[in-house]
Amino acid sequence: MKIGFIGVGNMGGPMCRNIVRNTNHQVVVFDLNPDAAAACTALGASAAASVAALAAECDVILTSLPMPSHVEAVALGADGIAAHARAGSTYIDLSTNAPETARKVAAAMAARGIAMLEAPVSGGTARAEAGTIVIMVGGETQGFEAQRPLLASFSAEQVHVGEVGMGSTAKLINNMLAFCNAAAAAEALALGAAAGIDMKKLYDVISNASGDSPQFRKVAQTGFAGDFSATFALDLAHKDLRLALAMADGLGVPGMIAPQVMTLMRIARAAGYGGQDSAAVLRVYEDALRRPIGR
Ligand code: NAD
């Protein structure tokens, strides 16, 4: 089969390279950033000149793009996938998206005879490199089973959550919980720094105690190293939380904690940290304390 991959950045890059490494499929890439594409062609993928050219020649087309607006433009634009992919091909969106955008795109694809799975992923860039991410899939069972070997070539777990829209729903709920954990971890670390405790010792305690979580470890390790360069940009985390809060609002679920985390993210972005890693919520506390935390 010929596999097309559009958007080979922090997450798409390693996922695409694992398809190249772990399957015999021909892989074609397209990215607006030539360096991102080059990291895949160096391994044996070929580069397409445009989304339209890639879509026309591939049996399965995957995207991993930042915002719902990017997905809509690439999927449904005049030069996009729906307009140029062959009937009978499959489109898989790995981006974190709004459920309603996923449903809109799937309906437009279906009208052109293109099957669609929405398949957001979780695990971060290290697990994407290792091929151990989890994929939560919305779409028809038959389509899921047909594409499962491809998905398994770059992930450890593939969970078929339900129809199109349910993959995004699962992803947004997961990320809302993860960001709440990250914000709580940042606040705990700030309290530790203010109290004058040895921060490495505090880390050793919490990482072996009931306050431990993957987000605690990530925020602490990122902060202690003082390297906030993005593996998962705060701007993308803000997008995810915005979509989760919109979902909660639409469903009438009262928000107690996540809206506070949104305020923390807004302060972080206003301070100029949006392009940094999502762990940069810690920097809001560093600014309040007027000192670095754990370094
Ligand atoms: P990224 O910004 O690193 O990568 C996105 C890539 O898409 C970039 O290389 C960019 O040049 C390319 N791109 C943008 N518009 C394009 C277009 N019109 N045509 C072709 N290429 C285009 O972002 P990322 O961190 O890899 O995130 C991608 C998606 O995965 C997002 O929806 C994000 O929320 C989600 N996600 C990210 C992580 C993470 O840890 N980084 C984890 C899980 C999910």
Let me know if residue 23 belongs to a domain. yes
Number of domains forming the structure of the chain: 2
Tell me: do 181 and 257 sit in the same domain: yes
Look over the chain and give the mean of its residue pLDDT values, rounded to a whole number: 98
Query: pLDDT tier at 111 (50, 70, 90 boundaries)?
Result: very high
**Is 132 within the bounds of a domain?**
yes
- Residue closest by Cα to atom 41 of ligand 1: 232
Taking every pair of Cα atoms in the chain, the longest distance, rounded to a whole number of angstroms, is 64
Q: Is 239 a catalytic residue?
A: no
247/175 same-domain check: yes
Exposure string (b/e) for 197-215, b if CB count within 10 Å is 16 or more?
eebeebbeebeeeeeebeb
243 and 277 within one domain: yes
**Ligand 1 centroid vs 173 CA: distance in angstroms?**
19
Is 30 a pocket residue for ligand 1 (Cβ < 6 Å)? yes
Given this model, what pLDDT does residue 43 score?
97
> Which backbone phi and psi does 132 adopt, to 5 degrees?
-115, 20
pLDDT digits (tens, 9 = 90+) for 153-201: 999 999 999 999 999 999 999 999 999 999 999 999 999 999 999 999 9
Can you say whether residue 294 is alpha, beta or left, with left for phi > 0 and alpha for psi between -120 and 50 degrees? Answer: left
Mean pLDDT throughout 249-259?
A: 97
**Spatial contact of 34 and 11, defined as CB atoms under 8 Å apart:** no
C-alpha R_g of the chain:
20
Cβ atoms of 168 and 139 closer than 8 Å = no
Return contacts of 227-231, CB within 8 angstroms, 24+ apart: 228/273, 228/276, 228/277, 228/279, 228/280, 228/283, 229/276, 229/277, 230/10, 230/275, 230/276, 230/277, 230/278, 231/10, 231/124, 231/125, 231/126, 231/277
Range of the domain at 75: 2-162
Distance (Å) from CA 295 to ligand 1 centroid: 30
**Do 138 and 179 lie in a common domain?**
no
How far is 108 from 110, CA to CA, in rounded Å? 5
- For ligand 1, atom 17, which residue shows the shortest CA distance? 32
Runs of H (alpha helix) within 42-118: 51-57, 68-76, 81-84, 99-111
* Last-in-domain residue among 162, 193, 222: 162
- Establish whether residue 99 lines the binding site of ligand 1, counting it when its CB lies within 6 angstroms of any ligand atom: no
CATH number at residue 90: 3.40.50.720
Residue 232, ligand 1, Cβ within 6 A: yes
Residues 77 and 206 in one domain: no
The percent of residues above 90 in pLDDT, for the chain, comes to 100
Mean pLDDT, residues 251-268 taken together: 97
Q: What pLDDT shows up at residue 19?
A: 98
Instruction: Quote the CA–CA distance of 155 and 152 in Å, as a whole number.
Output: 5
Q: Amino acid letter at 145?
A: E
CATH code, domain with 210: 1.10.1040.10
Query: Band of the pLDDT at 6, cuts 50, 70, 90?
Result: very high
| One domain for residues 137 and 272 | no
User: What is the Å distance from ligand 1's center to 67 Cα?
Assistant: 8
C-alpha 233 – ligand 1 centre gap (Å): 10
135: three-class secondary structure by DSSP: strand
Question: Is the pTM value of this prediction over 0.85?
Answer: yes
- pLDDT band of 39, cuts 50, 70, 90: very high
CA 280/CA 103 separation, integer angstroms = 32
Distance separating alpha carbons of residues 149 and 193, to the nearest angstrom: 47
Q: Cβ of 40: how many Cβ atoms within 10 Å?
A: 25
**Chain mean position to CA 28:** 21
CB count, 10 Å around CB of 169?
Answer: 21
What pLDDT, on the 0 to 100 scale, is given for residue 147? 98
Residue 294 lies in a domain: no
Mutate which of 32, 51, 93, 155 to test ligand 1's pocket (most atoms within 8 Å of Cβ)? 32
Domain boundary among 103, 134, 162: 162
